Structures are given as structure tokens and as C-alpha cells.
Amino acid sequence: MTNERAFIHPREFPLDRIFMTQAEVMRRNPQRLEFLQVESILHCDLAANLIVGHRKVRADEFWVHGHLPGRPLLPGVMMCETLAQVASIHAHLELKLQENVFMGFGALDKVRFRAAVAPPCDLWVAGKILKASARRPYFSWGGQLLREDGFIVAEAEIVGVGM
């Protein structure tokens, strides 16, 4: 099952072709431990305004036993956090921000959850900057979370601001 509105198809972005490692992601995003949601950045093409990230959903994550017992489902808030973390990396690269600039949530709009996600699985995150300013810094970003078959499981517009 695929979705015609998807920015990408995951098969075009293999998990072993990495643009930015998790260690490089962590130099720009301060999230650690359970809140680090990005495994790697697979692709970034600033001219084409496209970034593709990877999130591995593991069966031993902190939420698995409580959301929901016997049928673990990745919480929507974690899907939104995953989108926001990839959006932050895209903003850092596009706006050429210093690594220590923290891009925090400013708003979350047009959120849609289209399918449940159960561990273990891999998710691709694809997104495009809709508007940005290096002066503030500020950005608006449209992103999608996709399964391996190309189906969009969640999408949202993220607004980020430098803090």
C-alpha cells in the first residue's frame, strides 16, 4: 500500500546509505536517552528542499509496556517528536546555524495520524521547509512519517524557533 502524496518512497533511501550519523545529529539536537528519536539522516538536498531521516522503533522502548499493554503502539506524541527532531536538523543545515543553537517547538499544525505503528519497525521521515529565516532563527516545515512500503503513517507541519 502506498500513498500518492508521499514526498518519497523509502526504497529510494536505503538504511545503509547515511548522510549524517546519530552522533552528528546529537551535535545539533540536545535530546538524549529515551527522547532521542532520530537514528540517522539518510539524505539532505538543500537545493531540492528535501531531508530524509530514519527512526528505528524498538520493542524495548520505555513506552512499550504501557502504551498499550499487549498491543504496543508508538504514541502519537513520539511521532510528532520524531518529525520535530528531523525538522530541527533540516533547519540547522538550511539556515547554517551554529551547532549549539537549539530549535524548539513553536507550533504543531495539521497533524494527521493515518496508521498505527507497532515495534519493531523502521520509519522514514521526509520533509520540506515551507518558510525560514536565519535572522530570528525560525522555520516552518512540512513532514511525513512513512513505513517501508511508502504509506504515510503520520504527517504534520512543525514550527520551530531558536531558543
What CATH number matches the domain at 10-162, 3.30.390.50, 3.10.129.10, 3.20.20.70, 3.40.50.300? Answer: 3.10.129.10
Task: Give residue 146's pLDDT.
Answer: 98
Say if residues 155 and 112 touch (Cβ distance below 8 Å). yes
Strand ranges inside the chain, DSSP E: 40-45, 50-57, 103-113, 121-133, 138-146, 152-162
43 is catalytic: no
Mean pLDDT, the chain, whole residue set: 96
Judged against a pLDDT cut of 70, whether residue 147 lies above it is answered with yes
Question: How far, in Å, CA of 162 to CA of 105, rounded?
Answer: 9
H helices of 16-157, in order, are 22-28, 76-95
Judged against a pLDDT cut of 90, whether residue 2 lies above it is answered with no
pLDDT, tens only, 105-138:
999 999 999 999 999 999 999 999 999 999 989 9
Judged against a pLDDT cut of 90, whether residue 19 lies above it is answered with yes
Other Cβ atoms within 10 Å of 159 Cβ, number: 18
Active-site choice (9, 43, 54, 67): 67
